[in-house]
Amino acid sequence: MQFLKDMCKGAVIGIANIIPGVSGGTMAVSMGIYDRLIHCITHLFKEFKKSILFLIPIILGAGIALVASAFGLEYLFGNYPVPTNLLFIGLILGGLPAMCKKVKGKRVNAGHIAAFAIFFVLVAGLALMGEKEGAAADMSFSLLNVIKLFGVGIIASATMVIPGVSGSMILLLIGYYHPIIEAVSSFMRALVSFDMKGILHGMGILVPAGIGIIVGIFAIAKLIEIVFEKFPLYAFWAIIGLIVASPVAIVLMNLASFSGVTVLTALISVITLAVGFFVSMKLGE
């Protein structure tokens, strides 16, 4: 039962990582597993059995969700943008009560307020920048592009791990979001049809990016662990700022979708918001 629950948490994190404006790190906080996730990554070899038993269902759930999302999310956001966005806003806000408990009863100083404000502005600012997409990246196979994809993997993984920062939004800005989503979809279709040319082409894109993601996750996780050990209250207030800013960022990036909303759409959106909040709170318990 716990394995399935952890897979569901991983699925939510995986889906979040593929949506521009939504942070996988924030979802990990909302699911109540962020600190443990960071600990297991940074202590993978010291506490291998314990760490791997925790990470396997998370990675499995995230992987399945990422593949499924590459096919289904475009339809949902294309046909039901407001209810879908409100679902993710609910998932994000569902983790806020648990995070607030971390700082409850603790004295608040100017540094804590500054940490909250800086990271709130950072996320909102990235959302405003994210309204324009960079030129589509060249995905042809070459040594230079392999090196670029490795670097893109590092950037994407770092932004995936940091709460409040959308890795997919960063990929969108540098022009790699849609090409990589298309590469995942094409690779899965090639696997199903046993198209060796398509499989090799997909591996040429996904393998260097995947290696970069692994390297980036380990590097940034260690840095985050140090911050939490030395400045825990500052880290908690920064994350609260990121969580509060994330719904604002989602709305800013999807303003066109929120215009001309019908009464029925508004009612459905309120329900999806409540469902997201409830699911996040339950998974985070």
Please give the residue range of the domain that contains residue 237.
Answer: 2-283
What pTM, to 2 d.p., does this model score? Answer: 0.62
Q: What is the DSSP string of 29-87?
A: HHTT-HHHHHHHHHTTTTTHHHHHHHHHHHHHHHHHHHHHHHHHHHHHHHH-HHHHHHH
Q: What pLDDT is stored for residue 267 in this prediction?
A: 92
The per-residue pLDDT for range 210-236, each reduced to its tens digit, is 888 888 888 888 888 888 788 888 888
Which structure tokens are listed for 155?
A: 């950037």
Give the span between the Cα atoms of 284 and 10, in whole angstroms: 12
Amino acid at residue number 11: A
Assess contact for 136 and 178: CB atoms under 8 A: yes
Phi-psi region of 32 (alpha: psi -120 to 50; beta: other; left: phi over 0): left
Q: Which helix (DSSP H) or strand (DSSP E) does residue 90 occupy?
A: helix 81-93
Residues in Cβ contact with 194 at an 8 Å cutoff, skipping those fewer than 6 apart: none
Give the span between the Cα atoms of 171 and 156, in whole angstroms: 7
Assess contact for 238 and 119: CB atoms under 8 A: yes
Q: What pLDDT is stored for residue 251 in this prediction?
A: 79
Q: What pLDDT is stored for residue 132 in this prediction?
A: 47
Q: What pLDDT is stored for residue 129 in this prediction?
A: 61
Q: What pLDDT is stored for residue 165 in this prediction?
A: 62
Positions in the chain whose pLDDT score sits under 50:
131-135
Number of domains making up the chain: 1
Distances, alpha carbon 39 to alpha carbons 5, 103, 125, in Å? 19, 20, 30
Q: What pLDDT is stored for residue 38 in this prediction?
A: 84
Entry field: residues in the chain: 285
